[in-house]
A and B are shown apart, each in its own frame.
Chain A
Amino acid sequence: MSMWAIFYRLREAREGIARNTWASIATVVLLTLTLLMFGGFLWLNANLAQVANLLERQVQVRVFPAEGTPAETLLTRVEVLPGIRGVELLEGESAYERLAPVFGRNTLMNALPADAFSDSLSVELLDPELANETVELIRDLDGVGDVIWGQGFAQVLYRISNSIQKGGIIFIIGFFIAALLMSLTAMQLAVLNREVEIQIQHWVGVGPWGIRSQFLIEAFLLGLFSSILAGASFLYLGEVIQKIIISLLPFMSSQLSSPKLVIGVVLITGPILGLLGGGLASQRAIGKGR
């Protein structure tokens, strides 16, 4: 397509959008909402997966000996198990010492029995993803009283993430179909409004794709405009949401993924959605101008 062809097509597209003002506004609003939902879903999902991953990687296994088993004895049994990077003995006394500056030594002595803090083992794993198996091995050892570790929370987050992913995909597909239908309707109106133009172009020798291109450009512009609006809104809303998450979960401050990638995806998706609507609607134009 030559430079002048693009110039004329852009002018026609601008006039077309102005002619179908309300249909164009409705299309842009619906496309923008869809893209916002789509971006929000992507971002939420990426962050939930990241939190779950972070929690799992930071998993600390704490092993408490059974009554009558010295922690030192258990340490020698645990450290030889496969999947163990290292084992540290945590004396109950040290926990007492750590709490004393906070609550006061006297308060603690009065409030807690003498053996309130038993000795335990802090176990570091080689591969956090094999935590389940390793924990089971530890549990099977003689002299193990209790094993506490944080994967339960991580698994809950994974489940939430998966549910959002599945539900979100259905939700997004529904919105996409609605947005596509809206874009299709707007472009069909544009085709109907331009029957005379299409006929004239046909008579003077414009090819089917030449006729179609004006509708594709128009739809592309609507999609692009929607994606810019959605991207800008997402940039603003993303910051607000980020602040809320950090205020609730301060440890996430360095872990939240940047919304920039999501904004990039949104910017690409809008014009694609517009082009799909324009492409389907302009089949009609090609039929008229065969």
Chain B
Amino acid sequence: MVGASGMGKTTLLKLLYKEEIPDNGQVLIGDMDTARIHGSKLRRSMGIIFQSFRLLEKKSAYENIAYGAEVLAMPPPEVRRRTKEILELVGLENKSHRLPSELSGGEQQRVAIGRALINEPKLIIADEPTGDLDPENTDRVLGIFDRFHKEHKATVLFATHAVDVVNRLGRRVIRLEDGKVISDATGGYWAGEKKESAS
């Protein structure tokens, strides 16, 4: 999902995970009307990721990822199994005992992604997840999403205004302007904000 800042990307994402309630109309995820389901139950089927990592400073990478499952009362053996898998997926198995302050920005974002993925969500909502990352870490993050999508058949909804990221993915691109969808194309190419306004 692309669009310039202030065009409504974040608001649309918030409507999806029920952080915001629509004044009118419906929010459907598949056949499910989100108005008919409690926000917390809805979010249990989602993995939500932001530009800011929001990690627990006094917990290690392992504990930060495990926390996402523990708060949903997952039995400890299952938490251990999944955390190990996720650490491998995000490429931090060798840094699992490090605190967030001992990790780079890209690594911290991968921990945050791991925490969002540990409950095996069917829908991943990522709001500018690569906004603060360099090209190398951006590639890594995109690789994680791609692998998770393939292995778990999960939908990844990714909001960004980074042209190169969108074009590298070559996936469905939904363009927002003033809160409205102005184009929706699979395998689409986005020329970026400046070129668009010029055209």
Partners in one complex: yes
* Chain A residues close to B by CB (< 8 Å): 1-2, 4-5, 8, 196-197, 199-208, 210, 290
Q: Which residues of A contact B55 (CB under 8 A)?
A: 196
Measured between beta carbons, the chain B residues less than 8 angstroms from A210 are 40, 71
With A and B bound together, what is the CA distance between A210 and B40 in angstroms? 10
The answer to whether B116 touches A203 (Cβ under 8 A) is: yes
Given contacts A197-B56, A200-B54, contact A206 B116 (CB under 8 A): no
Residues of B within 8 A of A (CB): 17, 38-46, 48, 54-56, 67-68, 70-76, 115-116, 119
B76 partner residues in chain A, CB cutoff 8 A: 4
Highest count of chain A CB atoms <10 Å: which of B41, B68, B76: B68
Closest to A290 in B: B39
Bound state CA distance, A59 and B187, in angstroms?
102
In the complex, which of the residues A199, A202, A205, A208 contacts B72, with contact meaning CB atoms closer than 8 Å?
A205
Cβ of A204 and Cβ of B56 under 8 Å apart? Answer: no
Cα separation A5 to B76 with both chains bound (whole Å)? 11
Cβ–Cβ contact B56 & A5, under 8 A: no
Known pairs A4-B74, A4-B75; A200 contacts B41 (CB<8 A) = no
- Docked-complex contact A199 and B54, CB < 8 angstroms: yes
Chain B residues lying within 8 Å of A2, measured Cβ to Cβ, are: 73
A204, A208, A290: which contacts B71 (Cβ < 8 A)? A204
Alpha-carbon distance A154/B130, docked complex (angstroms): 83
Chain A hits for B68, CB < 8 A: 200, 204
Chain A residues positioned under 8 Å from B38 (CB to CB): 207
Is A204 a contact partner of B44 (Cβ separation < 8 A)?
yes
Are B115 and A200 in contact, CB atoms less than 8 angstroms apart?
yes
Whether B56 and A196, one on each chain, are in contact in the complex, defined by CB atoms closer than 8 angstroms, is yes
With A4-B74, A204-B119, A207-B38 given, name 9 new contacts (CB 8 A): A196-B55, A197-B67, A200-B56, A204-B43, A204-B72, A204-B116, A205-B45, A205-B72, A290-B39
B73 and A205: CB pair below 8 A?
A: no
In the assembled complex, the Cα of A52 lies from the Cα of B141 at a distance in Å of 80
**Sample (17) of A-B pairs whose CB atoms are under 8 Å apart:** A4-B75, A4-B76, A8-B71, A197-B56, A197-B67, A200-B54, A200-B115, A201-B71, A202-B43, A204-B44, A204-B71, A204-B115, A204-B116, A205-B41, A206-B40, A207-B40, A290-B39
The A interface, classified by DSSP as helix, strand, loop or mixed, is helix
Our pick among A1, A200, A207 for the contact of B67 (Cβ within 8 Å) is A200
B contact residues around A208 at 8 Å (CB): 40
Knowing A196-B56, A197-B56, A290-B39 are in contact, say whether A203-B73 is a contact too (CB < 8 A).
no
Given contacts A202-B43, A208-B40, contact A196 B72 (CB under 8 A): no
Residues of B within 8 A of A200 (CB): 54, 56, 67-68, 71, 115
Q: Are A206 and B75 in contact (CB under 8 A)?
A: no
| Cβ contacts under 8 Å, A197 to chain B | 56, 67
Which residue from A4, A5, A205 sits with its C-beta under 8 Å from B43? A205
Q: Kindly provide the distance from the CB of B73 to the nearest chain A CB, expressed in whole angstroms.
A: 4
CA distance A262 to B162 in the complex (A): 69
- Whole-angstrom distance between the alpha carbons of A210 and B46 in the complex? 18
Least CB distance, B79 to chain A, in whole angstroms: 9
- B residues near A207, Cβ cutoff 8 Å: 38, 40-41
Which residue of chain A has the shortest Cβ distance to B46 in the bound complex?
A205
Question: How distant is the Cα of A230 from the Cα of B39 in the complex, in angstroms?
Answer: 43
B116: min CB distance to chain A, Å: 7
A208 vs B76: C-alpha distance when bound (angstroms): 23
CB–CB B116/A4 < 8 A = no
With the chains together, A159 CA to B92 CA distance in Å? 75
Choice from A4, A199, A290 contacting B73 with Cβ under 8 Å: A4
